[in-house]
Structure 1
Amino acid sequence: MATDAPHRRPALMPDLERSRAVVVACDHDAVRPPEVQSTAGAVKLAEALTSPRTGPSFLPEHLTLLTSWTDPAEVVDAVRRAAEEASDVLLFHYVGTGRRHDEVVLPRRVEDEGEASPLLTAAETVRDGPAARKVLLLDCEGFGTVWDRLHRDRGGDGPSRTGDTLSVMGKSPSQYFELRGDKVPAGDDFTLALAGALDSGVDDGPELLDLPTLHNAIEAYWVQMRYYVENEYIGAPSTLGLEAGRPVALGRNVALGPDGERRGGFPAHPDVVDAQERWWDE
């Protein structure tokens, strides 16, 4: 009797046994609603990355979610453990704001100016790890500093010390509001948008959601957000940094239903709303 052939996992997806992920959140002490804290986005992203519906990209036991850590060393240690274990894909996602986050971005003491920050140490651990494909996602103040440092180490436009294995995607906050004497980012992070793109899929996108596809979908979603309120322009971020290394997909495109049926998800490219942009500018 004929039997079904085993379904082969696409090579673009992380190998489940040989891949590791670390997702870290740092909440802002001045923000009260839990649904707008960094932890809320990190939890949703971790769920999307381990969901059988969208992949999974990583086994639940191979994804470390840190949301209640007290010392930045815990973040660095988690990344180092994952780097030691991962031979295919190593992913590190960090989202955070606030005073505790400052200790991750900056050295702990003024006299330690020459010391690398915990965030940079974690990023360099990802870059220098033995994994064949590395993904660094930074959604925080300090992204620009890490980006510049890694890019400088690559010699500008030259090749990386690790070849084309490292992919970097992220942004720093671009909007703030005052709250109890603190400047709080005004919800323009990309963690929730990334989780939403994985969970909802990308219209007119490929079967597997690689980093360039997700990057374009998030930017397209932000452009659409500007016109959600009766065609009134509202503030929204516009650009998300991306430097793609060796190809890796973070999920299956659930917007692509059976027989090519589209179920509705994130837009595929920012140019889907170019007509709105042109109309608004005229």
Structure 2
Amino acid sequence: MPSPFLAAGDLSRIGLSEDNVLHLANPLVADDSILRTSLRPGLLRSLKYNQSHRAPKIGIWEIGHVYPKSDQQLPDESEQLAILVAGGDVETSLMQWNAICDALSVGAQLDQSRVPAGLHATRSASLTRGKKIVGVVGEIDPVVLDTLGIEGRVSVLEIDLSVILNEEPKPVQARDINRFPSSDIDLAFVMSDEVPAVNLQRALRQAAGKRLVRIDLFDVYRGKGVAEGSRSLAFRLRLQEPEGTLTDSILAEVQQACVAAGEKIGAAIRA
């Protein structure tokens, strides 16, 4: 059973604050002197151990309780889920989050303007419900990995189960099977690093309208041909007409609407 105790400095070593930790008055072991506020330190320690034993690419997860300080006599205890994958990237953690959303009929907004502590500055986001943060998704900060001696990228997904599991799931809406063929449109935009990718995805979703079946970000590129401080974001939009076959004119209309929607938020179509 994972220990709920940490040593002083374990959280700050991975980029997390220790301002809200509870210190034990009489710890049995000096290295178990505070209550954990995150599952991440123990999981990163396990990844490091496995890599040192020639298991470089593994996935590891934990469901457990954390105990941040509160204004009350007792800590603000909550149950958390954390999943780390050595060799994984932000797409790995997003796939895990989408699978959980589908299984539990839940959801949250991806907010890249609030980068979680200890995570990659441009490849991570908070999962939010309004002003409330219910989780994080992305990759561990490379500086943290270097400090711990962990090789490669590490994806991370953390969810506050005390919030998610106490909700009434949304009823699943059955849909008729669409028998008409679908078509894909690939669009690549160049956009400032300061603008979250989710803003562009939202704009494209609205522009495509009811014909949109799904939208996926399948490539992020920085380098030759893209200005410093910007990146190229490539989206694939799958379209399907609910009551007929898509025509070339309809596809062109949707494409023009998506390009215009991207330009409104400062994204330029990549040549």
If the length of structure 1 is used for normalisation, what is the TM-score? 0.24
Higher relative contact order (CA 8 A, sep 6+): 1
Which structure is higher in helix share?
Answer: 1
If the length of structure 2 is used for normalisation, what is the TM-score? 0.25
- Point out the structure with max Rg over C-alpha: 2
Which structure is higher in strand share?
Answer: 2
